[in-house]
Structure 1
Amino acid sequence: MPRKPLTEEEKALVRRKACRAARKLLHAEGSAGLTIRAVAAEIGMSAMSLYTYFENKAALLDYMRAMAVGELADIQETIASETPDAAKRLAALGLAYQQYAETRPDDFRLAFGGGEGGFGGEAPEALRDQIARAMAPSREAVAALVAARKLKGDAAEIHMAVWSAWHGYAMLAMAGYWPATQRPDIEGLGLRGELTMTNVTPKEKEAAGPKAARRRPEANASI
């Protein structure tokens, strides 16, 4: 009797199981130790069977990245659902982002590092979808603060500045540029007027002239 084909849910379970094993191999042995054959052996499959789920190592890495970002998105969504106040929510989201980077540095690098040789262009669709999920809670918090006039400026620009500040801080901290005892308050990072990418005082605008003022629109954060 022919074997019953796997459902899409069953296939997804196999992919997630393979990705968990692949992440352990990657973190323990580096990229050289991550092969389809090695992952298959870890989960008790033949390499040929696993190739029916992942075309090649690059496809496996793409799925691993999407899974890592998806786990960050889960954390962000949980915080958003539990923190009604927009200012506190944005601070908590920033802290959680940093904690993810600190406690899971290998997964953080996997998620945002681009992998072997980068993506060669635009990130895969599945990864872009998970990044959008991860960014949505902070985007919504910033939009709420702009609507409440607690932040001034374009909500999309402010959100990108805040997210960039969080990410840049996380990368620098992971690289050892900020010892734990000397790090700034991550909960306030990007807030309280620290949006230096877009924050320009009236005197600075006047001194820089109209062209500079147009290039750096005012978005003064004052929580």
Structure 2
Amino acid sequence: MAKKNLSQSDIDAFKARLCEVAERRFAEGGVESVSMRQLAAELGCSAMTPYRYFRDKDEILAAVRAAAFDRFALALESAGQGVADPRERAHATGRAYLEFAFSQPDAYQLMFDMSQPGQDRYPELARAGERARRTMGAGIQMLAQAGQVYGDPEVLSYVIWAAIHGLVVLRLAGKLPEQPDFDTVHAEMMRLLAVGLRTPPDAAAATPPMPRSLAS
């Protein structure tokens, strides 16, 4: 596979295949199952070929994560496109979030893998991650502008993201029971979040303290 004989489309296709294999191997065995030599062997090329396009496996995984964040953001953007009502848009993007996570679990788990180097080392990964963050926050921003929620939209978007992500990870890890099922827990979580979002800070501060037996 001489580099001088490859067109740009050939190079892009090879890099895409390399990333696909890296994502699958990560899902099967974690970071330790991804090495430049293993990737090359599976693709049927020389051990040095991947180094023509990536410095090391961390750069490959960063490229895979960036692509996943872009697909994730695009799914949410597409779901909310053309939906004018802020609440309906929030619901649509919320459904798209779950559909992405459960239809592409390997990509979703790699996106948030804590063993990977910080995204500040990889500009494309940083860009894609920021795109996803902005997309997640767009619905809350619209609700805040419409006066339907209280609080700092950026803070609220992180709170909601943390809640949804935590529940998704529990399901992907098989840590949720059959009853109550995921949909029941998710609906109750969103109900509680909605109540909090619609409660002015002053009213929340005036709420009677939680009983000691529940707080402990």
TM-score, normalised relative to structure 2: 0.77
Q: Is 1:204 the equivalent of 2:205?
A: yes
Change (3 A) 1:158 1:14: same
* C-alpha distance in structure 1 between counterparts of 2:76 and 2:19, whole Å: 21
Change (3 A) 1:99 1:121: closer
1:192 shift after superposition? 1.7
* Counterparts of residues 6-85 of structure 1 (less than 5 Å): 6-7=7-8, 11-85=11-85
Q: Does structure 2 retain, via aligned residues, the 8 Å contact 1:143–1:155? A: yes
1:84 shift after superposition? 3.1
Q: Residue 214 of structure 2 aligns with which residue?
A: none
| Pick aligned residue for 1:184 from 183, 186, 201 | 186
* C-alpha distance in structure 2 between counterparts of 1:123 and 1:101, whole Å: 25
Give the fraction of aligned pairs with identical amino acids, expressed as a percent: 25
Gaps of 5+ in 1: 209-223
What letter corresponds to residue 164 of structure 1 in structure 2? A
1:160 shift after superposition? 1.9
Change (3 A) 1:83 1:206: closer
Other structure's SS at 1:119 match? coil
Q: Residue 126 of structure 2 aligns with which residue?
A: 128
1:73 shift after superposition? 1.5
CA displacement, residues 85-119 of structure 1 (integer Å, 9 cap, x when unaligned): 2211212222222333333332221110133xx42
CA displacement, residues 68-95 of structure 1 (integer Å, 9 cap, x when unaligned): 2222112112112153322112122222
1:202 shift after superposition? 3.1
1:56 shift after superposition? 1.0
What letter corresponds to residue 34 of structure 1 in structure 2? V
Other structure's SS at 2:111 match? helix
What letter corresponds to residue 175 of structure 1 in structure 2? A
1:53 shift after superposition? 0.6
Q: Does structure 2 retain, via aligned residues, the 8 Å contact 1:162–1:189? A: no
1:60 shift after superposition? 1.3
Change (3 A) 1:205 1:177: farther
* C-alpha distance in structure 1 between counterparts of 2:148 and 2:204, whole Å: 22
Other structure's SS at 1:192 match? helix
* C-alpha distance in structure 1 between counterparts of 2:56 and 2:82, whole Å: 40
Cα RMSD, aligned residues only: 3.2
Q: Does structure 1 retain, via aligned residues, the 8 Å contact 2:119–2:125? A: no
- Larger helix proportion, structure 1 or 2? 2
What letter corresponds to residue 16 of structure 2 in structure 1? R
Mean Cα deviation higher: 33-42 or 121-130:
121-130
Change (3 A) 1:70 1:186: farther
1:121 shift after superposition? 7.7
Q: How many corresponding residue pairs?
A: 203
TM-score, normalised relative to structure 1: 0.74
* C-alpha distance in structure 1 between counterparts of 2:194 and 2:104, whole Å: 28
| Pick aligned residue for 1:151 from 149, 152, 161 | 149
Q: Does structure 2 retain, via aligned residues, the 8 Å contact 1:166–1:189? A: no
1:205 shift after superposition? 5.0
CA displacement, residues 32-91 of structure 1 (integer Å, 9 cap, x when unaligned): 332212222333432212101111111111112112222211211211215332211212
* C-alpha distance in structure 2 between counterparts of 1:127 and 1:203, whole Å: 38
1:201 shift after superposition? 5.2
Gaps of 5+ in 2: 210-216
Q: Does structure 2 retain, via aligned residues, the 8 Å contact 1:95–1:186? A: no
* C-alpha distance in structure 2 between counterparts of 1:23 and 1:6, whole Å: 24
